[in-house]
Amino acid sequence: MSKKVLIKGNEAIGEAVIRAGCRHYFGYPITPQNELTNYMSKFMPEAGGTFIQAESELAAINMVYGAAGAGARAMTSSSSPGISLKQEGISYIAGAEIPAVVVNVMRCGPGLGGIMPAQGDYFQAVKGGGHGDYRNIVLAPNNGQELYELTVKAFDLSDKYRMLVMVMADGALGQMMENVEFKDEETPCKVDKEWATTGTSMERKKNYITSVYINPDELEVVNIRLQAKYRVVEKEEVLYEEINCDGADIVICAYGLAARITRNVMKLAAEEGIKVGLLRPITLWPFPKDAVSALADKTDVIMSVELSAGQMVEDVRLAVNGRKPVYFYGRTGGILPTQREILDEIKKVLGKEAE
């Protein structure tokens, strides 16, 4: 049944997992994503699925490898330090082209860092993280409804491309309670997984899942195929939201919670006669390069606002390619920038540009 409920972000992800037809969840506790693991432990058995609290993040991601390699929709979730541990498995999943979903409810680092919200894992998620040339599709929700919808979408995308899809939320989105509408029928996998290891039943040739290619010629062919697939994803799957960018005094590039805060900054700024636009990447990879590049024709100043020391700003600068100045403002350590702080920074930047 379609229904609207007041629910914590982490639990909205959990409900999306169930409704997307995923019946295999492998987790390991870490704050601030624990409500998701708890939710799975309660509702997976009810849905006739598998919940395993693994002995480590490493084991959990490799259970996903096995289950998803056997053709099931499978997922794991964690928070930043735990996602670091999963990187080995993430690289193997990319190499073996297994569809899988990983949720990262980000906290602040580096190291054990703290448990407060952050966006310091952008590089790790978008630029690699594990070894080798590979990409993950990375989705960045900015409210409870998107946590739900993008998690469902993550399963569809992973099946479509045989890729790992990461949902990047931050601690605040995971912990916040919001109204979320659950849809009647989500789309359990419609893709025929004829490559999966299901047992041959003596009806077909063997399937094997692997990322080992000792012969360099073979491995290069695999790499070329992966890159070709990534180019298709870059062409087909870019998602972003653009608000008031045309003729804006300044456009803020921000995702997730930072974008959420920026929406309020836009109202505050308007009261002072400053027109602020927002470009919000929803897919961090593929990055909305063209949309960001086009900002150079729509505004004179661009600023990336992040809960980090400046990570996505590098991609913004690459896309803008020097045609307009690109500034950065961010807070680290788990501290959220206030609307007033961001507005002050906007005024500072505009003042500097006016000189």
Shortest Cβ 91–other proteins spacing (Å): 9
Q: Classify the C-alpha dihedral 138-141-147-148 as positive or negative.
A: negative
Bridge partners, 51 (sequence order): 25
Site for other proteins in 2-31 (CB under 8 A): 24, 26
Cβ-contact 211, 68 below 8 angstroms: no
Shortest Cβ 214–other proteins spacing (Å): 7
> What gap in Å lies between CA 311 and CA 307, rounded to an integer?
9
* C-alpha distances in Å from residue 121, one per residue of 5, 68, 160, 197, 239: 30, 24, 25, 33, 19
Cis ω on the peptide bond leading into residue 29 (within 30° of 0)? no
Work out whether 87 is an interface residue with other proteins (CB under 8 A): no
Shortest Cβ 207–other proteins spacing (Å): 5
Work out whether 222 is an interface residue with other proteins (CB under 8 A): no
Shortest Cβ 75–other proteins spacing (Å): 11
Which token pair is 176?
């916040």
Cβ-contact 209, 71 below 8 angstroms: no
Work out whether 136 is an interface residue with other proteins (CB under 8 A): no
Work out whether 38 is an interface residue with other proteins (CB under 8 A): no
Cβ-contact 277, 253 below 8 angstroms: no
Shortest Cβ 275–other proteins spacing (Å): 51
Shortest Cβ 54–other proteins spacing (Å): 7
Shortest Cβ 227–other proteins spacing (Å): 22
Work out whether 70 is an interface residue with other proteins (CB under 8 A): yes
Q: Classify the C-alpha dihedral 86-87-93-97 as positive or negative.
A: positive
By beta-carbon proximity to other proteins, the closer residue of 27 and 337 is 27
> What gap in Å lies between CA 140 and CA 7, rounded to an integer?
19
Work out whether 212 is an interface residue with other proteins (CB under 8 A): yes
Q: Going by C-beta distance under 8 Å and a sequence separation of 6 or more, which residues neighbour residue 263? A: 243, 278
Q: Which of 81, 84, 85, 88 binds other proteins (CB under 8 A)?
A: 88
Work out whether 67 is an interface residue with other proteins (CB under 8 A): yes
Work out whether 214 is an interface residue with other proteins (CB under 8 A): yes
Q: Going by C-beta distance under 8 Å and a sequence separation of 6 or more, which residues neighbour residue 194? A: 207
User: What mask, x for binding other proteins by CB under 8 A, covers residues 90 to 119?
Assistant: --x---x-----------------------
**Looking at 61-69, 246-254, 308-316, 327-335, which segment touches other proteins (CB under 8 A)?**
61-69
SS3 104: strand
Task: Catalog residues that contact other proteins under the rule CB under 8 A.
Answer: 24, 26, 50, 52, 54-56, 58-60, 62-72, 74, 88-89, 92, 96, 197-203, 206-212, 214
